[in-house]
Amino acid sequence: MLPRALSRHVARQPRVSSSTAARLRISNHGRIRSFHSSRVSSMLQIPEIGGDGEENKQSRSGWERTKEILTKMAESAGITFASIAILGIAGMTYHYYYKRHVVKKMDEAFEDGDPAFELTMHRRTSEMEGWVERSHQKLLDDIIAGRISGRYYLLIGEKGTGKTSMILEAMRKCSGSCCTILDAHADPEIFRIRLGKALDFEFHEDYIGSLFSIRGPRDTTALLDIERAFNKLEEVAVGKVRKTGRPLVMVINNAHLIRDDADGNNLVELLQQKAEALSGAGLVTMIFNSDDYWLYERLKKLGTRLEVVTIKDLDRAQSVQAFQLARLRARGISCDVETANRVYDLVGGRPQHLAHVAGHRNILKACQELIDREKTWFLNQCGLLGEDMDDDVMESGKFSTSAMFLMRELVEMDRRRLKDVSIYNTLHLSDHKLPELPLWRARQVMTRPDYIQVYDNLNIFTIDSLSRVRADSVPMMQAFHEIADMPGFDDFLEETADRVSAIESLGRTRELVAKDLVEGGKYTVKDAFRTFAIKLVQPEEEEDKAESSLDHLGKSDWWNQRVKKFTEQIEEEEVALKEKEAKAVGIPKHVEDVAKIPGDVEEVADYK
């Protein structure tokens, strides 16, 4: 029965193809392998004691997650640390590179050449027309060439005497090696920028350390920047002196432009401290070039290594040579010695004035125009206001009268000198010698100690390193003579001085006015014994017969009236002189009386 059933079952199965049979065999084979693998793993599994399988599975999954988190944290910490390390190394590398780059640039600023472009214009003038050697040129050549060290210098002299030209000439001779120059300024910020240009120092303005979260050092003031620049200069100077054996030279031109206030004094003090320290070490020689005296007073207080060099005008021989060269360059015309001497007699030996006159066609006219310009400048700054000066301009009156007092004193000194015949006859052969006063005496003449510095700044008077006061230039002294020779100048000066004194006395005087008495009332005073009344008795008004002839004039007619007054005074003096001459030749009395009649003037003249 069984074989037959099996045969029927097999007969009922559908026929399959060979490919289908192959796929079935592969599937059954995979199932068998999976079954054996699961049996083997279950046989090799070691059961845990004290817990069932579900808890072990949960514990296993928690530890794996913790281990995975710790692994990721370690990876993140490693990446962060590596990034910070790379960033820090890059920042420190850039920082050290930047410091070396700053020192290298500053060192190159003192190489041969013209890094600040200061010598370019000087070459165009000095090499073409020649150069007039002066007494201090050799000293400046030695200082800038580094042959003299251990000191720092102040060049002081009037504007236009050639101080800057002499410095640039000395720099040209050494090709600008180991030296630099900058122009001072009243604003410390601009001074900082110019110092950076001269030293090729950017004051960390090009520093990009902020990219590495490092704060830059530029957030500061101008004085701190200047201090940092000198610190770098000291570092450069050490290497430069070791390499070349000569100190560096820094020239601060126009140092008088620094203001005489708190900021300016702080800047001057900083520069002087650096000059003292660097010159004492033989590293840097600093040269201050100034037109005004106040800087010398400021430096003298703390100066131990300070040397003062006074630059004056050219003498007659140098002026003649310089004028001939300037005339040839400006107009292409040679000038004879006599004309050059005449120019020196009028305008002196100031190189600025000689160059100005040499460029004009009419030389003598240009000299007179220069004198008139100085005269106008002095009157515009210190002109007198007279007795009609307003109360509100008393300070201007003080300023003007002080200058005029000093001017009159210098003119009188020059007049006394010219009275000597021997000196007068040799004026066309000798050098100019302007009258001068000690500074303490000049302050006595002015009756004020504080205005002299302002006059020096205005180029009216000048003070040299020996504290001697004189006119700023020969044309200014010529203008002084013309002003002092004006008719009635002394009276006009005294009137202005009296008006200033009157205004000051009004400020010190207080008036007490009893209005009741002025209006006709009276005061009754009683005591235990008597009674009396106080009443104001006013004098009768009289016509002012001595009314001033200027009361009816406006301010525009005042000067004409004063000129008329002086003219009448001169005419009276001439009449008195004629009477004196008539008495000398023995003219009869009746002829003198006839001379007073206008119609007989010609007859008297013929008689005489």
Tens digits of residue pLDDT in 70-103: 888 898 889 999 988 887 888 788 888 888 888 8
Q: Which pair of structure tokens corresponds to residue 51?
A: 């817990």
- What is the pLDDT of the chain when averaged over all its residues? 77
Q: How far apart are CA 553 and CA 236, in angstroms?
A: 73
Q: For residues 608 and 186, which has the higher predicted lDDT (pLDDT)?
A: 186
Q: How far apart are CA 484 and CA 497, in angstroms?
A: 16
**pLDDT beyond 50 at 40:** no
Decide which of 504, 539, 574 is a domain's last residue.
539
Residue 49 inside a domain? The answer is no
Q: Name which of 311, 300, 313, 457 is nearest 377 in CA terms.
A: 457
* 425 and 494 fall within a common domain: yes
Q: For residues 479 and 132, which has the higher predicted lDDT (pLDDT)?
A: 479
Q: How far apart are CA 323 and CA 331, in angstroms?
A: 12
What's the domain range around 141? 105-312
**pLDDT beyond 90 at 439:** yes
* 579 and 506 fall within a common domain: no
Residues whose CB is less than 8 angstroms from the CB of residue 195 and which lie 6 or more positions away in sequence, other chains included? 182, 201, 226, 229
* 159 and 170 fall within a common domain: yes
Residue 95 inside a domain? The answer is no
Q: How far apart are CA 529 and CA 507, in angstroms?
A: 42
> How many Cβ atoms are within 10 Å of 405's Cβ, its own excluded?
17
The answer to whether the beta carbons of residues 488 and 565 sit under 8 Å apart is yes
544: confidence class by pLDDT, cuts 50, 70, 90: very low
* 338 and 203 fall within a common domain: no
* 113 and 256 fall within a common domain: yes
H/E element, 179: strand 179-183
In this structure, of 33-42, 219-228, 379-388, 488-497, the range with the lowest mean pLDDT score is 33-42
Q: Is 263 exposed, middle or buried (0-12, 13-18, 19+ CB in 10 A)?
A: middle
Residue 94 inside a domain? The answer is no
* 390 and 355 fall within a common domain: no
Residue 262 inside a domain? The answer is yes
* 191 and 212 fall within a common domain: yes
Q: Name which of 185, 9, 208 is nearest 101 in CA terms.
A: 208
Mean pLDDT across the stretch 320-327? Answer: 90
Residue 292 inside a domain? The answer is yes
**pLDDT beyond 70 at 148:** yes
Dmax over CA atoms of the chain, in Å, equals 207
**pLDDT beyond 70 at 570:** no
Q: Which residue has the tokens 């122009």?
A: 183
Residues whose CB is less than 8 angstroms from the CB of residue 581 and which lie 6 or more positions away in sequence, other chains included? 608
User: Which pLDDT value is given to residue 65?
Assistant: 81
Mean pLDDT across the stretch 141-154? Answer: 92
H/E element, 272: helix 262-280
Residue 323 inside a domain? The answer is yes
What residue type is assigned to position 284 of the chain? V
Prediction pTM value: 0.69
User: Which pLDDT value is given to residue 268?
Assistant: 94
442: confidence class by pLDDT, cuts 50, 70, 90: very high
Decide which of 361, 392, 421 is a domain's last residue.
361
Tens digits of residue pLDDT in 95-143: 888 888 888 888 888 887 665 455 554 554 444 455 677 888 999 999 9
* 387 and 339 fall within a common domain: no
> How many Cβ atoms are within 10 Å of 228's Cβ, its own excluded?
17
User: Which pLDDT value is given to residue 71?
Assistant: 87
Residue 90 inside a domain? The answer is no
* 219 and 283 fall within a common domain: yes
**pLDDT beyond 60 at 19:** no
**pLDDT beyond 90 at 380:** yes
**pLDDT beyond 80 at 591:** no
% helix / strand / coil in the chain, to the nearest 5? 60, 10, 30
Decide which of 506, 539, 572 is a domain's last residue.
539
**pLDDT beyond 80 at 275:** yes
Q: Which pair of structure tokens corresponds to residue 171?
A: 């720099």
The answer to whether the beta carbons of residues 387 and 401 sit under 8 Å apart is no
The answer to whether the beta carbons of residues 360 and 325 sit under 8 Å apart is no
**pLDDT beyond 80 at 196:** yes
* 516 and 578 fall within a common domain: no
Q: Name which of 111, 166, 122, 115 is nearest 141 in CA terms.
A: 166
* 339 and 422 fall within a common domain: no
Count structural domains, the chain.
4
Residue 159 inside a domain? The answer is yes
Q: Is 139 exposed, middle or buried (0-12, 13-18, 19+ CB in 10 A)?
A: middle
H/E element, 523: strand 522-526
* 523 and 569 fall within a common domain: no
User: Which pLDDT value is given to residue 35?
Assistant: 43
565: confidence class by pLDDT, cuts 50, 70, 90: low
**pLDDT beyond 90 at 420:** no
**pLDDT beyond 60 at 30:** no
